[in-house]
């Protein structure tokens, strides 16, 4: 439990940083408030949407104010070190990948504990992981990350299915948690490194 809480906080921190740095990655100026607002929404958006869809109240960040201060701390760190962090994009990709990996399994376990069926729980895990980033992209008028990076949410779904499989085989829960998180991270990193993509749904002639 202790370890899981630490992992959740790591996930929250990297999502808050990813939101705060979103404008900088697109070479746009931003003030501190805007960075904090986007960081906050990115960090809490996915989990909030999951809990609202499941009717699970109170929302996590409303119950546990500590998360708010952790997010503010992450945004401040992002502002102080943003040049350095932007240069570390490769490492940041690792952090962001850890974020979606952890949030997928945490979100799925929460949905299961609330009585959701396995299929719905897997979708809820994926939503927890990716919807914060989707909301960030909508607020900043970007094409959502889902449609730019092809192996992203799909890696979350694969990891969620893997967890459900091991759970069915009665694998011990902490082992299962860590294996599934690592699987999602590996799929994502391998897909990015080797530029893998999913099969095309359609093949259009595009104007050159």
101 belongs to the binding site for a second copy (CB under 8 A): no
57 belongs to the binding site for a second copy (CB under 8 A): yes
d(CA 153, CA 158): 9
Q: How far is the CB of 174 from a second copy (least distance, A)?
A: 27
d(CA 36, CA 22): 11
Question: For a second copy, which is the closer residue by CB, 5 or 147?
Answer: 147
Find the farthest-apart pair of alpha carbons in the chain and give their distance in angstroms, rounded: 54
Task: Considering only residues 103 through 142, tell me which ones interact with a second copy, judged by CB under 8 A.
Answer: 116-117, 119-120, 123, 134, 138-142
Task: Considering only residues 131 through 190, tell me which ones interact with a second copy, judged by CB under 8 A.
Answer: 134, 138-144, 146-147, 150, 153-154, 157
Among 52, 147, 46, 168, CA closest to 101: 46
Tell me which H or E stretch contains 135. helix 118-139
Q: How far is the CB of 57 from a second copy (least distance, A)?
A: 4
CA atoms within 13 A on the CB side of 61: 21
What are residue 135's phi and psi, to 5 degrees?
-60, -40
What are residue 32's phi and psi, to 5 degrees?
-60, -40
Task: Candidates 5, 6, 28, 113: give the one binding a second copy (CB under 8 A).
Answer: 28
Which residues form the interface with a second copy (CB under 8 A)?
A: 20, 23-24, 27-35, 37, 40, 48, 52-55, 57-59, 61-62, 65, 68, 79, 82, 116-117, 119-120, 123, 134, 138-144, 146-147, 150, 153-154, 157, 197-207
């Amino acid at each position: 439990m202790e370890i899981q809480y630490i992992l959740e906080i790591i996930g929250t921190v990297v999502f808050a940083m990813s939101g705060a740095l979103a404008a900088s990655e697109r070479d746009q100026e931003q003030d501190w408030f805007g960075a904090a607002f986007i960081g906050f929404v990115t960090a809490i958006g996915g989990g909030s949407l999951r809990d609202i869809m499941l009717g699970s109240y109170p929302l996590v960040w409303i119950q546990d104010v500590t998360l708010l201060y952790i997010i503010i701390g992450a945004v401040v760190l992002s502002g102080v070190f943003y040049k350095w962090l932007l240069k570390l994009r490769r490492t940041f990709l690792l952090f962001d990948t850890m974020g979606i990996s952890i949030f997928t399994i945490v979100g799925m376990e929460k949905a299961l504990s609330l009585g959701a069926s396995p299929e719905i729980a897997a979708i809820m895990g994926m939503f927890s992981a990716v919807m914060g980033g989707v909301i960030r992209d909508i607020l900043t008028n970007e094409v959502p990350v889902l449609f730019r990076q092809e192996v992203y949410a799909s890696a979350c779904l694969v990891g969620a299915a893997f967890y459900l499989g091991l759970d069915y085989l009665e694998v011990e829960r902490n082992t299962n948690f860590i294996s599934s998180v690592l699987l999602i991270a590996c799929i994502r990193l391998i897909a990015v490194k080797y530029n893998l993509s999913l099969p095309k749904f359609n093949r259009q002639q595009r104007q050159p």
